[in-house]
Amino acid sequence: MLFMVSVLFSRRQFKRKKLLLGIFIASVVVILFVLSGSSLFQRALSLTDKETILGLNGRVMVWKGTWMLIEENPFLGIGPGTFSTVFPHYQLPGFAARFYQAHNDYLQFIAELGVFFIPWFFWALYTVFKTSFKKMRSQSRQKWGFTLGATTGVVAILIHSTVDFNLHIPANGLYFSLLLAMIAGEPESKKPQ
């Protein structure tokens, strides 16, 4: 949401009243979400609970074990899809739960694919955002809005991937691929018949 608002602020044609209305509506939605006591809000609060294995402490322990795994297999990694098999050997002592994912897509990708994943990842990010911002400079409002929405979705997934295994869930991976295709693709131009 912050990404979208910052892009909207940079757009000169966007009317100030519309921006303020958008911020107001977003604020109301967030306030209602927090005050509703929803299970999603309770889940978000549980991330800081020290007693919960899936809370921040549990994730940090998994990340430490994953880092040890990366240190022992830095270049080629352990192979795609093998994290759940190999990780128990690197799990910190006294940690009883079994983790099938690293709860950080980036650490898991580096563990499975090696450090050569890092430059490829940054190149891919650069390419996606370069294409996105190039399309958003277009004069077409439709193309601008379409690209802004897709780019905001990509940014949201990339942020969420720092604390979860977002891209290892098939539906999320497919959604992420669809957003990337929306950014990369060129909409059909309307030709007179």
CB-neighbour burial class of residue 107 (10 A; exposed 0-12, middle 13-18, buried 19+): buried
pLDDT reported for residue 180: 92
CA distance 55 to 41: 14
pLDDT reported for residue 36: 61
Instruction: Tell me the residue type at 115.
Output: V
The ranges assigned to domains in the chain are 2-41, 52-114, 118-184
Find the radius of gyration of the CA atoms of the chain.
20
Full pLDDT tens readout for the chain, 193 residues: 556 655 655 555 555 656 666 776 777 777 766 666 555 555 555 555 555 556 677 788 889 999 999 999 999 999 999 999 999 988 888 777 788 898 899 999 999 999 999 999 999 999 999 999 888 887 677 888 888 889 999 999 999 998 889 888 999 999 999 999 998 887 655 555 5
Q: Which residues, at least 6 apart from 116, have a Cβ–Cβ distance to it below 8 Å?
A: 75, 76
pLDDT reported for residue 175: 93
Q: What is the largest CA-CA distance in the chain?
A: 71
pLDDT reported for residue 191: 56
Cβ atoms 66, 87 nearer than 8 A = yes
Helix (H, G, I), strand (E, B) or coil at 88: helix
pLDDT reported for residue 187: 60
